Amino acid sequence: MSYSVPILTDLIAFKCQALQKQLELVASSSAPKDSLDGIYEDLHWAILIAGHMIAFDAMGETNLIPSEVNEYSVSIAASPGGSAVAFQNAFDMVTPTAGENVDPIVR
């Protein structure tokens, strides 16, 4: 968890920034709309991987948050207040410096 969560978070943040820049180019008519396809595909898979990692547990019929995710979150000892603010301001998490004291799972 301590290896994969930060990498996945950075990947999603990077792709969101790329999507924002590409959308600006498309809006200004200097790029075709099909230039968004690759970014959409990358974000689609990154979100699927994140969802699978955070909410999959093969024990039983109901999918739950795996114990490894809970243990990793607790081991970070991030500020609950900082995590709550980050959750409320989700779009600020796209910036690389945002969320210094935020639970990586919330991020």
Q: Which residues does 18 contact at the CB level (< 8 Å), separation at least 6? A: 39
Q: What is the pTM of this model?
A: 0.65
| Cβ atoms of 50 and 81 closer than 8 Å | no
Confidence of residue 2 (pLDDT cuts 50, 70, 90): confident
Confidence of residue 9 (pLDDT cuts 50, 70, 90): confident
Q: Which residue has the higher pLDDT, 60 or 105?
A: 105
- Note the pLDDT tens digit of each residue in 82-101: 777 777 776 654 554 455 67
Q: How many residues does the chain have?
A: 107
Q: Provide the token pair at 67.
A: 């114990």
Tell me how far CA of residue 80 lies from CA of 11, 85, 86, in angstroms. Answer: 24, 9, 10
- Note the pLDDT tens digit of each residue in 28-66: 888 788 888 999 999 999 989 888 888 766 666 566 777
Quote the pLDDT of residue 95.
52
Q: Provide the token pair at 90.
A: 């989700």
The domain segmentation of the chain, as residue ranges, is 4-94
Q: What whole-number distance in Å separates Cα of residue 104 and Cα of residue 98?
A: 11
Q: Does the pLDDT at position 27 exceed 90? A: no
